[in-house]
A = this chain, B = another copy of it.
């Protein structure tokens, strides 16, 4: 029996200015998957830890097992026996790319066990299908950074065209997950479907500037580009005291602040770990004042995507 334990990172989609086109990965939190090749055919979930019973154990409905099944079909090995144990190490439905992290951990695990026959673009396509199962739509801005690591741009969804951007080493992410619930579907439903041309132009300017800021490692340019006139004004209402929280984050030295994915998690980018730590503490304190519990994370940007925690690589096969 072979087994492998894989970590895959949480991700911050949108990065304020880049709705559906920008995202980055963090080193903490993240999910872990233990995947075992077993004798009896079929993919099954042995256990899920840390989800509070929220996630389905039915292998067809769970994204991790669903993508592993899809992987086995595509690689011509549908009868392979696989047992999955999932360790959720971040809140579900939090806007941190929770399902993408599990999906990528599972895919990376099975691909490693099989000797890496599929490349990143093929894995990405399978992972997007998994996301479609989990939230009705495949969001490459979570799965792509979880797989590639670093800052990622989705140039196009059809055909899928994903670009790994330059990722400055010094940037640190402050993440806070308030204990309130927003459904991704609801968060998308309230978004306006027609955008004034002038707002489209502003948003294009900010996305271009964010990309330039990353390549130039220009913190002030990154900071100026973290503005959103098309989505945030609508979604901010879902997070109590959003604009006060932003003010606090910027006062504490954050380069920029916004909603992580479709929320309710909020995030900030900072130029140092100390600064990110102060931002997290100040945000949690303010939320607590409003009677809202929260979890906080301070993390460097993940630059590698998933990683093997323990296990036997495919080259060790008998």
Contacts and interface: CB of A to CB of B under 8 A. Distances in A.
Interface in A193-250: 193-197, 199-212, 215, 221, 224-225, 230
Question: How many identical chains are in the complex?
Answer: 2
B204 A19 contact: yes
Given A194-B197, A215-B215, A224-B161, A206 B155 contact: yes
B197 A191 contact: yes
A309 interface: no
A166 interface: yes
A34 interface: no
Nearest to A154: B205
A195 B205 contact: no
Interface in A10-29: 18-22
A53 to B, nearest CB: 35
Given A166-B215, A215-B166, A22 B195 contact: no
A153 to B, nearest CB: 5
Contacts of A163: 208-209, 212, 221
B19 A201 contact: yes
Contacts of A165: 212
A22 B201 CA distance: 10
A206 B21 CA distance: 9
A200 B155 contact: no
Contacts of A192: 197
Interface in A163-197: 163, 165-166, 191-197
A156 interface: yes
Interface in A137-161: 153-156, 161
Contacts of A193: 196-197
A154 B224 CA distance: 12
Contact of A212 (B194, B197, B215, B230): B215
Contact of A153 (B21, B153, B205): B205
Interface string A278-289: 000000000000
Contacts of A200: 195, 199-200, 203, 230
Given A22-B208, A166-B215, A194-B195, 5 more contacts: A21-B205, A156-B202, A161-B205, A163-B209, A204-B207
9 A-B pairs with the lowest CB-CB distances in the bound complex, closest first:
A155-B209, A215-B215, A211-B211, A155-B205, A21-B205, A194-B194, A204-B207, A200-B200, A207-B208
